[in-house]
Structure 1
């Protein structure tokens, strides 16, 4: 089991039947001068698919690393990254060093030397991708360690970070020096034309303008929402205001896994305590802790989300609960 987990952790996802997003590929090309690219968007927006398809479309060598809660342990992180490095650059027989106890008082120096060696081993024009940054435990030394690693990125190497949350304060210096570029929800979400292509690739006929307008109103270009909302319809009739029981359950199951199970304990507690409420008053929403402000708005009991900007609190929160789900 551990071997399978380790392999999945350092393996770039295999993508089939995807929608190539040339608009975003060109945007990614235009941001190549930044050493670090941070892509922030909610779950189901297509961050992983975008990064993987871009690497494939541009034939870029890569080292892919899927972050999780275990990476709060830096020794474990460096161990698995060493396995990923060996996979990405097999011609080097000597493994990268392990973070053993004698290095614990000098982690910044260890980090810089480790990543200098790692970057030297990667082929030119390689991309180092860290997926699911939001899963790294809060309060760990991981962000500070990354700030040290990113100081030694050489020309010809690009780092991409995929996350549901924005860059941590530890990377403020990179951002101030314009070494960190960002793509956000307004960039990632599907525009109407891309939405049509996504739906047709999932076996639907091209929707009429009125149906497309309604779908876009309900999903705001959120990829998972488009797929889930149309799972039980052929798009020849108007989009129902209330999805079928099956479709609604599918949407709720998606969020039960992607949002509740992976949320921090305080967010889980918030959702549980408010699960009996249809809506949370805006005045109450404004008093939420900062960690709760990437707010989820459950619209019309469909589970479709809308996301406020990073600097605003949502005007209301509607929660999917009970028999409505």
Structure 2
């Protein structure tokens, strides 16, 4: 379903360096970004992270792979540098990468999904360096269950960051009504909607589970 207020925040983020979406599991972070990015004219690369990616060279290889979905063959110099240089510098690698991105004649978005799994300091340092000198034609979107170890306060003060939190992602009673309208056999009163919002705290995963699995007659017994 459409959520215009969140779409506006994501659109607003394109004027900054970083859009940060933070919320616990099940709040629809990836779903929101997926629905939004499909409507954009920007080229984009999406990186799905897991615990095994806490190695700087692997992280850089994934970043290069994401960029190559936009422009094949991009960042050859970066790839050669990180693969041939033992204990390479994250700053040097990011500088080489930014030089190649800056030469592109198009706006691009890189999405880092599940960034909360990253705990390697060298990756945080490299990403901080990238954000500090980010090319004008590049924008980052980070989805995370927790706040990443990046200079968020500084970026916020400089208006380089747009944040979307769990509070923003929670469904209101009106949005819950729209969600349940999609199911013919579920017609809730205003009072029931308010109660459902309070019980689920607007958590989309919980709402979807109720909508798909709980018959209306049983649902009303919960109120």
Query: TM-score range with shorter-chain normalisation?
Result: 0.7 to 0.9
Aligned-pair CA distance for 1:82: 2.0
Aligned equivalent of 1:66: 48
Distance 1:204 1:220, change over 3 A: farther
Distance 1:224 1:204, change over 3 A: farther
Cα RMSD, aligned residues only? 2.6
Pairing 1:111–2:104 present: no
* Correspondences of 1:10-25 after superposition (within 5 Å): 19-25=1-7
For the residue of structure 1 that corresponds to 2:25, the secondary structure is: coil
For the residue of structure 1 that corresponds to 2:195, the secondary structure is: helix
Distance 1:89 1:220, change over 3 A: same
Distance in 2 (CA, whole Å) between partners of 1:153 and 1:117 is: 12
How many pairs does the alignment contain?
222
- Gaps of at least 5 residues in structure 2 are none
Pairing 1:141–2:140 present: no
Query: When the two structures are superposed, what TM-score results if normalisation uses the length of structure 1?
Result: 0.61
- Gaps of at least 5 residues in structure 1 are 1-18, 243-325
* Correspondences of 1:294-305 after superposition (within 5 Å): none
Contact 2:22–2:145 (8 Å) recurs in 1: yes
For the residue of structure 2 that corresponds to 1:57, the secondary structure is: coil
Aligned equivalent of 2:113: 131
Distance in 1 (CA, whole Å) between partners of 2:172 and 2:78 is: 43
Distance in 2 (CA, whole Å) between partners of 1:22 and 1:169 is: 28
* Correspondences of 1:170-319 after superposition (within 5 Å): 170-201=151-182, 204-236=185-217, 238-241=219-222
Higher percent of residues as helix: 2
Aligned-pair CA distance for 1:170: 4.6
Distance 1:199 1:183, change over 3 A: same
Aligned-pair CA distance for 1:155: 2.0
Aligned-pair CA distance for 1:172: 4.5
What is the CA deviation profile of residues 76-127 of structure 1, one whole-angstrom value per residue up to 9, with x for unaligned ones? 1112222222222127594741523625252222222223324544x62321
Higher RCO (Cα < 8 Å, 6 or more apart): 2
Query: When the two structures are superposed, what TM-score results if normalisation uses the length of structure 2?
Result: 0.85
Distance in 1 (CA, whole Å) between partners of 2:84 and 2:74 is: 25
Pairing 1:155–2:136 present: yes
Q: More deviation in 34-43 or 168-177?
A: 168-177
Distance in 2 (CA, whole Å) between partners of 1:240 and 1:88 is: 52
Distance in 1 (CA, whole Å) between partners of 2:155 and 2:22 is: 16
